[in-house]
Amino acid sequence: MERGLSAEAVVAAWEAGLRCGPLDQALTLLWAGGQGKVAADLPLTERDRRLLELRTATFGPGLDCMATCPECGVEVELSLDAAMLAGALAGALAAPKGSAVRIGERDITLRPLTSRDLAAAQRVESAALPGFLRARLAPDSGPLAETEATALDAEIEAQAAAAETLCQLSCPDCGNKWREAFDIATHFWSEVEAAAFRTLGEVAELARAYGWSEPEVLALSPARRSIYLRLARDGS
């Protein structure tokens, strides 16, 4: 996948995910990028890798975001780089199909978490969650002793933690260094939302100026659109 989202796809993604939670918004972005069929069943690390790739193709390699220093509370502006984030994801991608974990005397195959698992887990009460995840991610584990179940739960938790993209940050004010999780899906979604608002504003402006329809404006390349906008603003 090399092509980013077109102006039309950005608006379509925003509209489709408007009233959804973050989990569905992440899948909506991949759907807009033509990967809707497989998105829900991708391991979370692979989902995030594809989101990062699509985001880079759409908005470029630089990602600006904000973080708050946990020590002194100062707001820190960050400029992250897609290649650096891809590197942070690469470690977690090492075993995308699932890996055998040693529990007691046995090797148990543990499948990585997917968006579909997370969506299903949202409907499960927290007390029942460990058992639910064991049955889903390690269906061949059979009956487990309590200590084995606890060990398997720890493996599942460790795998979920490893799927997070952690960034090393440092505070320009107090020098504190800390690690913070970066969520590509939330970041990408907020950019798509802002881009959709901007694009619809431009559609309205060009419709007023020249009487063009929404599809006509959206079909313009960004370069042509910006020139027509400038001409409309100059009153040409």
Site for Zn ion, rule CB under 5 A: 69, 71-72, 74, 171, 173-174, 176
Rg (CA), the chain: 22
Using alpha carbons, select from 28, 72, 64 the residue that is nearest to residue 189. Answer: 28
Residue with smaller CB distance to Zn ion, 152 or 171: 171
Shortest reach from residue 3's CB to Zn ion, in Å: 40
At closest approach, how far in Å is the CB of 225 from Zn ion?
42
Question: Which is it for the CA torsion 78, 83, 88, 92, positive or negative?
Answer: positive
Q: Which run of H or E residues covers position 7? A: helix 7-17
Q: Nearer Cβ to Zn ion, position 73 or 201?
A: 73
Minimum Å gap between C-beta 64 and Zn ion is 19
State which residue, 69 or 101, has the beta carbon closest to Zn ion. 69
Place of tokens 């058992």: 131
C-beta of 15 vs 173, nearer to Zn ion:
173
Three-class SS of residue 136?
helix
Of the pair 74, 181, the CB lying nearest Zn ion is at: 74
Least CB distance to Zn ion at residue 62 (A): 23
Which parts of 141-183 fold into alpha helices (H)?
A: 146-162
Which residues of 5-127 form beta strands (DSSP E)? 62-68, 75-81, 99-103, 106-110
Provide, rounded to whole angstroms, the least separation between the CB of residue 151 and Zn ion: 38
